[in-house]
């Protein structure tokens, strides 16, 4: 179990920096905040004012990982933002995957810099830190994993190229008691292949590892002259509709290159140094040992490949082997899946979601669609769940476990008497939970919960899981006393009209009765149940022996972790992380509610700077930052989500950074786009978007915290799309806008986007009316566009911002385009992020804080020539009727739990 607890999250696909200090990378220059004296087209990366920079550069907190026995905790240490040199490393873009050829991994991986081991003492406190040691300084650590018995750690190590002749990954192991680490392989020439699944513990002393084949030579060389033209054909008139996937294979050379990097040789490696190769080299994508450690479930992909879909849809083969490397049988060999319909809930034909039952030694289960994978086909049942032993006799057929009329969504296993099966349907937002008895054919399945997934108030919670000795997780059964019927624990977010109040219920699966045994403090704190900690012993669990791990935070206190034990519910704090940004410790936060003109209830979180008093200080410049969402009902759209007591996490490009610049921040105002019944939400997108924005702006003005002429709007991705539409269709609300990594012309994503699954040809007017590109002539307020030059998101090609900027410029709009070299959909490098913040601050200071009459300026100077320029580092293009050009950008804060 790993808990990621930090305030400055590095994007998942980023690599952390050597040093997070100001100017330490040598490529970000200090910039005066007098933006009028600084040419907006000057070369070089810039940094924002110190009040913003200091928050972003604060060192990140470690991630936590508990041992299987819950008696030790790892502190996985991290660095701050990575330098641009990390992102600038060459990468191969193949089959929807970006590969670092030097490391033979996915590119831009984050990493740890060190591992600290703490004993969890009986009183709940942590013992002194024991540093894992034995590896060279400067090592980048990845894929940290506990052995089943908790006595060893495995992890990979790599180095920067300047530190080592070879930057490929090697597997290391460490003794948990001593902290001593050593290479797993005696040979220095065995390297990890981490393009797909990399390694897994088979038992307490053996790992199954994907390695680079020792016989592999140099990468294939691209031919100077192609063997022929690139040809694709659909002479069979197949209907093949796909979204705008990026980084696809382009030709035979790409196919060869993909095979070169993705092909692995599987090795069984024991801690005693024994190594055994099993199976032929292949593109292995997943490795899964059975709970009894006798079998391996091995998945691989193979040719023929595709030029129009990513590798997840390539032909897929699933086999069963023994753990000593003997082939048992083939479970399936699925063909290339280019024709999965774009309708939501459409799936691949054939067996899918193949897994081991968590409660059995070696029993498989999987799902097969009955509608050909097409969600538009009406059929009953729609999905069938099957089960079969790994050692099934020849001719033994799989057994039908359960039939579903909605789309399969997973199973929580307990034992032969209990499992919970989930199904859902996006179009109706219906979700159902079934109770089944896997070992009793005479017990009929029954529906436990049948509700709308949008109705957060009715969410009963999810069953808590306990770890088995085999390392799997099953539903925990709890008894109040020895002869009582067992219950399960439901862990819920507890959404209410006053905000989330997480809870833990003791739930009788047979009668439906429930007893609340724990609930978050609703007055000041926001607490959640993270994990069950009293699951080390086999047999029944009793309520008076219950122990849980919880997190606790408030508006001004950052997240800490606690152990709570029954029967007295004693609480022990086990972490004491410092406040990540003490300069904003006394920020003001309030969850506010207001109403749209059509009666829909809306919510938002209003943040105000420390010490601000509206009665004394008057209204502030305000930044509205949001992201629209689709709903099927007005009631669901109006429900409150989140808690007023949650800690204000501030990420590297969060809008909340501008609290340090004395802005009011309206974060996440709900922008519901509702399509009730047979109505499609997006058919009234603009109307509902504007109505939601009007209500939000009216509320902050009514409260006296926002100056009516100094309200800016911004968003990332679909939030950028929202921003452009609001400046086009509601120019009276905002003085300027910031749009990051957005899409603006929906005709460039003709086979669906976001939650729209109709094609351009089925909903032409909707695609056109939703596209701010088509309304570029209406945008009169300043808009800043920011985009990563290597954006790999399927709906937001960098071209979207390029073309939108040119459309704006062609109509004399005051606009600016910043293209960030090497950056993807989310921004990672310190140079890029600091420059984005500088651009943002400059834009807001000029067009929000010091608001000129921009529209009047534009109208008076339409004859001035547009100006374009390219920066040698961050590419900046500006267009302005008569004023000088500008720029900006953000990234929302994140907090995640990784399991």
SS (H, E, C) 410-427: EEEEEECCEEEEEEEECC
Run of H or E including 45: strand 45-46
**Token pair belonging to 377:** 């086909």
Instruction: Please give the pLDDT value at position 125.
Output: 86
Picking from 681, 689, 697, the residue whose alpha carbon sits closest to that of residue 592 is 697
Residue 131 covered by a domain = yes
Q: Is 821 helix (H, G, I), strand (E, B) or coil?
A: coil
3-state SS of 643-710 is CCCCCCCCCCCCHHHHHHHCCEEEECCCCEEECCCCCCHHHHHHHHHHHHHHHHHHHHHHCCCEEEEE
Catalytic residue among 110, 717, 741, 775: 717
Residue 288 is predicted with a pLDDT of 98
Please say whether the beta carbons of 724 and 783 come within 8 A: yes
Encode pLDDT of 316-339 as tens digits.
999 999 999 999 999 999 999 999
Going by pLDDT thresholds of 50, 70 and 90, the confidence category of residue 122 is confident
Per-residue pLDDT tens digits for 607-637:
999 999 999 999 999 999 999 999 999 999 9
How far is Cα 607 from Cα 27, in angstroms, rounded to an integer? 33
- Look-up: residue for tokens 């009582």? 484
- pLDDT top residue among 775 and 855: 775
Of the three residues 337, 367, 400, the one that is the final residue of a domain is: 337
Provide the pLDDT for residue 540. 80
Predicted TM-score of the model (pTM): 0.90
Local structure of 807: helix, strand or coil: helix
Does residue 135 fall inside a structural domain?
yes
Is 152 noted as a catalytic residue in this protein?
no
18: confidence class by pLDDT, cuts 50, 70, 90: very low
Confidence of residue 872 (pLDDT cuts 50, 70, 90): very low
| Average confidence (pLDDT) over 441-455 | 96
* 791 is known as an active-site residue: yes
pLDDT confidence of residue 41 = 62
- Mean pLDDT, the chain, whole residue set: 90
Q: Is the residue at 75 inside a domain?
A: yes
CA pair distance 301, 95, nearest whole angstrom? 12
pLDDT at 876: 62
Which of 449-463, 711-725, 840-854, 856-870 has the least mean pLDDT?
A: 856-870
Residue 702 has pLDDT above 90, yes or no: yes
Token readout for 878 is 């500006």
Domain presence at residue 513: no
Instruction: Answer whether residue 368 is part of any domain.
Output: no
Number of domains in the chain: 2
Residue 717 a catalytic site member: yes
- Residue 17, domain member (yes or no): no
Distance separating alpha carbons of residues 119 and 894, to the nearest angstrom? 28
What is the pLDDT, as a whole number, of residue 878? 54
pLDDT digits (tens, 9 = 90+) for 266-307: 999 999 999 999 999 999 999 999 999 999 999 999 999 999
Handedness of CA 22, 26, 28, 33 (dihedral sign): positive
**Could you tell me which of 324, 317, 318 has the C-alpha nearest to residue 267?**
324
Given a contact cutoff of 8 angstroms between Cβ atoms, the answer to whether 379 and 407 are in contact is: no
Residue 37 burial (10 A CB sphere; 0-12, 13-18, 19+): exposed
Choose the catalytic residue: 57, 339, 791, 841: 791
Phi-psi region of 25 (alpha: psi -120 to 50; beta: other; left: phi over 0): alpha
Q: What is the pLDDT of residue 123?
A: 80
Which single residue is written with the structure tokens 């320029």? 869
Structural contact between residues 181 and 133, judged by C-beta atoms closer than 8 angstroms: yes
Any domain includes 208: yes
Q: What is the CATH classification number for the domain harbouring 174?
A: 2.130.10
Total residues belonging to the chain: 899
Given 118, 148, 825, 835, the catalytic residue: 825
From residue 449, alpha-carbon distances to 441, 446, 625 in Å are 21, 9, 35
CB 368 within 8 A of CB 407: no
Indicate the residue among 804, 831, 848 that finishes a domain.
848
Mean pLDDT over 554-558 rounds to 95
How much is the pLDDT for 164?
A: 54
- Reported as a pLDDT band with limits 50, 70 and 90, residue 712 is very high
pLDDT digits (tens, 9 = 90+) for 201-237: 999 999 999 999 999 999 999 999 988 898 888 898 9
Low-confidence winner among 629-633, 648-652, 725-729, 856-860 (lowest mean pLDDT): 856-860
Q: Which helix (H) or strand (E) holds 361?
A: none
**Between residues 866 and 172, which one has the greater pLDDT?**
172
Q: What pLDDT does residue 873 have?
A: 44
**H helix runs in 125-240, sequence order:** none
Domain that holds residue 264: 62-221+241-337
For residue 629, give the CATH number of its domain.
3.40.50.1820
SS (H, E, C) 617-628: HCCEEEEEECCC
SS3 of 800, please? helix
| Peptide bond connecting 118 to the previous residue in cis, omega within 30 degrees of 0 | no
> Considering 315, 337, 359, which residue would you say is the last residue of a domain?
337
Q: Which of 269-278, 375-384, 585-594, 868-877 has the lowest mean pLDDT?
A: 868-877
Name the region of 518 (left: φ>0; alpha: ψ -120 to 50; beta: rest). beta
pLDDT for the residue 74: 97
Q: What is the pLDDT of residue 604?
A: 97
654-701 pLDDT, tens digit per residue, is: 999 999 999 999 999 999 999 999 899 999 999 999 999 999 999 999
Average pLDDT over residues 7-23: 32
Residue 165 maps to a domain = yes
Q: Are 210 and 264 in contact (CB under 8 A)?
A: yes
Instruction: Give me the pLDDT at residue 13, please.
Output: 32
Residue 142, pLDDT score = 97
Residues 356-402: tens digit of each pLDDT? 999 999 999 999 999 999 999 999 999 999 999 999 887 789 999 99
Average pLDDT over residues 239-264: 95
Q: Which residues are bridge partners to 277 per DSSP? A: 267
Q: Is residue 248 within 8 Å of 95, Cβ to Cβ?
A: yes
Contact, 110 vs 15, CB < 8 A?
A: yes
Reading the block at residue 155, the tokens are 């992890």
């Amino acid at each position: 179990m790993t808990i990621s607890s930090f305030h400055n999250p590095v994007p998942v696909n980023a690599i952390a920096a050597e040093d997070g200090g100001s100017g330490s990378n040598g490529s970000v220059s200090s910039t005066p905040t007098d933006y009028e004296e600084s040419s907006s087209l000057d070369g070089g990366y810039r940094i924002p004012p110190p009040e913003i920079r200091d928050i972003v550069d604060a060192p990140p907190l470690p991630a936590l990982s508990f041992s299987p026995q819950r008696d030790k905790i790892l502190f996985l240490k991290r660095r701050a933002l990575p330098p641009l040199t990390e992102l600038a490393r060459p990468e191969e873009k193949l089959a929807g995957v970006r590969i670092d050829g030097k490391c033979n991994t996915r590119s831009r991986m984050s990493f740890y810099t060190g591992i600290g081991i703490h004993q969890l003492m009986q009183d709940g406190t942590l013992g002194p830190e024991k540093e894992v040691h034995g590896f060279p300084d400067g090592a980048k650590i990845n894929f940290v994993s506990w052995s089943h018995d908790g006595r060893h750690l495995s992890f990979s190590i790599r180095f920067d190229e300047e530190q080592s002749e070879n930057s490929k990954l090697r597997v290391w192991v460490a003794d948990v008691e001593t902290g001593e680490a050593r290479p797993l392989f005696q040979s220095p020439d065995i390297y990890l292949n981490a393009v797909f699944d990399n390694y897994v513990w088979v038992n307490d002393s053996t790992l199954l590892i994907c390695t680079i084949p020792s016989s592999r030579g140099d990468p294939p060389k691209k031919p100077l002259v192609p063997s022929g033209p690139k040809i694709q054909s659909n002479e069979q008139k197949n209907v093949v509709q796909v979204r705008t996937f990026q980084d696809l294979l382009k030709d035979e050379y790409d196919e060869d290159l993909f095979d070169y990097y993705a092909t692995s040789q599987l090795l069984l490696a024991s801690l005693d140094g024994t190594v055994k190769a099993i199976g032929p080299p292949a593109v292995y994508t997943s490795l899964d040992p059975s709970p009894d450690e006798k079998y391996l479930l091995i998945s691989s992909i193979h040719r023929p490949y595709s030029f129009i879909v990513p590798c997840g849809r390539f032909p897929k083969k699933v086999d069963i082997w023994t753990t000593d490397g003997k082939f048992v049988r083939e479970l399936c060999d699925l063909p290339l899946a280019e024709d999965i319909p774009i309708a939501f809930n459409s799936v691949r034909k054939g067996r899918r979601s193949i897994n081991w039952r968590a409660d059995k030694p070696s029993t498989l289960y999987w799902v097969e669609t009955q509608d050909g994978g097409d969600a538009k086909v009406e059929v009953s049942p729609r999905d069938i769940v099957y089960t079969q032993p790994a050692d099934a006799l020849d001719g033994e057929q799989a057994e039908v476990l359960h039939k579903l009329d909605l789309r399969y969504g997973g199973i929580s296993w307990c034992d032969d008497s209990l499992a919970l099966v989930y199904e859902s349907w996006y179009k109706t937002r219906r979700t159902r939970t079934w109770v089944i008895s896997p070992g009793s054919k005479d017990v009929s399945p029954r529906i436990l919960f049948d509700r709308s997934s949008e109705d957060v108030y009715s969410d009963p919670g999810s069953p808590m899981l306990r770890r088995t000795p085999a390392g799997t997780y099953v539903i925990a059964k709890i008894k109040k006393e020895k002869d009582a019927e067992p219950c399960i624990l439901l862990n819920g977010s507890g959404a209410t009209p006053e905000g989330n109040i997480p809870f833990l219920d003791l739930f009788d699966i047979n009668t439906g009765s429930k007893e609340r045994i724990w609930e978050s403090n609703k007055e000041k704190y926001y607490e959640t149940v993270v994990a069950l900690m009293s699951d080390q012993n086999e047999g029944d669990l009793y309520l008076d022996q219950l122990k849980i791990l919880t997190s606790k935070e408030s508006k001004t206190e950052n997240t800490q972790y606690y152990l709570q034990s029954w029967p007295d519910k004693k609480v022990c704090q086990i972490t004491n992380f410092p406040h990540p940004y003490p300069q904003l410790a006394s920020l003001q936060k309030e969850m506010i509610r207001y109403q749209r003109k059509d009666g829909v209830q809306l919510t938002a979180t209003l943040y105000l700077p420390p010490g601000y008093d509206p009665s004394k200080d008057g209204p502030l410049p305000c930044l509205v930052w949001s992201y629209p969402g689709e709903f099927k009902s007005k009631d669901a759209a109006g429900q409150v989500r989140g808690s007023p007591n949650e800690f204000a996490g501030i990420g590297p490009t969060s809008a909340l950074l501008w609290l340090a610049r004395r802005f009011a921040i309206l974060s996440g105002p709900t922008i519901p786009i509702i399509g009730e019944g047979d109505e499609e939400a997006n058919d009234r997108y603009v109307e509902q978007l504007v109505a939601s924005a009007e209500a939000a702006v009216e509320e902050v003005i009514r409260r006296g915290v926002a100056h009516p002429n100094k309200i800016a709007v911004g968003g990332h991705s679909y939030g950028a799309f929202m921003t452009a539409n609001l400046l086009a269709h509601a120019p009276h609300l905002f003085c300027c806008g910031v749009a990051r990594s957005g899409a603006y012309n929906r005709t460039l994503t003709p086979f669906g986007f976001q939650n729209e699954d109709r094609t351009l040809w089925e909903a032409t007017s909707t695609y056109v009316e939703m596209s701010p590109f088509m309304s570029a002539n209406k945008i009169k307020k300043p808009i800043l566009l920011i985009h990563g030059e290597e954006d790999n998101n399927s709906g937001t090609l960098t071209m979207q911002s390029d073309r939108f900027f040119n459309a704006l410029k062609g109509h004399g709009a005051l606009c600016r385009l910043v293209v960030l070299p090497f950056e993807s959909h989310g921004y990672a490098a310190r140079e890029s992020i600091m420059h984005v913040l500088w651009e943002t601050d400059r834009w807001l200071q000029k067009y929000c804080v010091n608001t000129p009459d921009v529209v009047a300026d534009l109208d008076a100077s339409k004859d001035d020539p547009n100006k374009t320029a390219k920066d040698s580092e961050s590419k900046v293009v500006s267009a302005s009727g008569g004023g000088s050009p500008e720029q900006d950008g953000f990234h929302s804060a994140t907090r995640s739990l990784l399991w």
